[in-house]
Amino acid sequence: MRSLLPLMLLLVACSASEPAPEATEATPAPEPTEAPTEAATPEAAPAATPAPATAEGTTPAADVPTIDVLPDPVSFPDTPKGLGNGGFTPELAHTDLRTGEAFKLSDWTGPTAAEPVDALVVGFTASWCGPCKQSYPFLQKMQEENEGRLKVVLVTVDAAQPAKEKHAEVVAASGLDAPLLDPSVDTLRAWLGQKRNVPHFYVVNKIGEILVQDRGFGNNVKRVLPGQIRFALNHPEYVVRRK
C-alpha cells in the first residue's frame, strides 16, 4: 500500500497542471465583399408636371404629377407619334355622332368627373377600317364584363360627313354601346400626332392617366387588352413607372 502512494500523488499533480479548455465563440459570418445590388427605383413617366426625383432616385408618392382639369388639346404640340404613356389624356369635348348630343371626357375621368368610371378605352377608328369593325364586339364584351366600371369611347378619323354617318351606323350595327365623337383638328393632332393609323386604343385609368396604348387589332392586342383593362381598373391612382 505504501509503495503505491507516491505513484498516486504523481498522477494527481499531473492532472492539476493541464490547462482547462477555453470557451469558444460562434464564428461571425464573413462580410460581403460587394454591396448588394439595389432594385431599379421607380421613375415617373413624362406627364403634364414631372415628379422630381429624390437623392435615392425614387419619386415620393406625394410628388406624383397632378392636374386640376383635363388639358386642352390646343396646348399639345404636333409630334410624330402623338401622346405618350404616363401623360394625362387631353379633353374630348365633341358631338356624339350617334346621338347628336355633346360629350365631355372629363365627365367620366379626371379630377372634375361627375360620373367617374374606373377605366376607359378611348379608340380612334374609321368607317373603312376592317380591324376597327372587328374590335367593336370585343370592346362591348369587355364593357359588359366590367359593367359600371369600364367605358368605351370612340373617335372617328373620317373627314367627310357621309363617311362619319356611315361610321355611326357601323358602330350601332355592331352592338357596341359607345359614343362616336366627331373630333376637331386639334384633338386629332394632340392624340395621334402625325400618325393617323387606326385602330389606335388608349387605356386610361380613373385619374385620366394614359397607362398603355395598342395599335391595330390583331391576335396580340386581343390577348393583352383584357389584362391591360384589369390593370387600369385596379390602379386608379397615378402609376409611377420604373426606369
34, 51, 150 from 122: Cα distances, Å: 49, 26, 11
Q: What is the pLDDT of residue 142?
A: 98
Distance CA 70, CA 210 (A): 12
Q: Cβ distance 161 to 168 under 8 Å? A: no
Radius of gyration (Cα) for the chain, nearest Å? Answer: 33
Note the pLDDT of residue 241. 85
110 contacts 208 by C-beta, under 8 angstroms: yes
Distance CA 26, CA 208 (A): 58
Q: List the chain domain ranges.
A: 68-237
Residue 38, C-alpha cell as written in the block? 439595389
Q: From CA 233, how far away is CA 223, in angstroms rounded?
A: 17
Residue 101, Ramachandran bin (φ over 0: left; ψ between -120 and 50: alpha; else beta): beta
Run means of pLDDT, 10 residues per run, the chain, 243 residues: 42 36 28 27 34 38 86 96 96 98 98 96 98 98 97 98 98 98 98 94 98 97 98 96 76
pLDDT for the residue numbered 58? 43
| Length of the chain counted residue by residue | 243
CA separation for the pair 238, 64 (Å, rounded): 7
Per-residue DSSP letters for 36-98? Answer: PPPPPPEEPPS-SSPPPP-TTS---GGGS---SSPPPGGGSPP-SS---TTSBPPP-EEEETT
Q: What mean pLDDT is reported for the chain?
A: 81
Task: Kindly report the CATH number that applies to the domain delimited by 68-237.
Answer: 3.40.30.10
Query: Which three-class secondary structure state does DSSP give residue 125?
Result: strand
In 3D space, the residue among 107, 47, 87 whose CA is nearest the CA of residue 202 turns out to be 87
For residue 213, what pLDDT is reported?
97
Identity of residue 103 = F
At 43-72, the pLDDT tens digits run 333 334 333 333 334 444 557 999 999 999
C-alpha cell at 226: 383584357
Q: Look at residues 209, 56, 7, 193 and name the one whose alpha carbon lies nearest to residue 119.
A: 209
Q: Please, what is the Cα angle at 92 between 195 and 132, to 5 degrees? A: 50
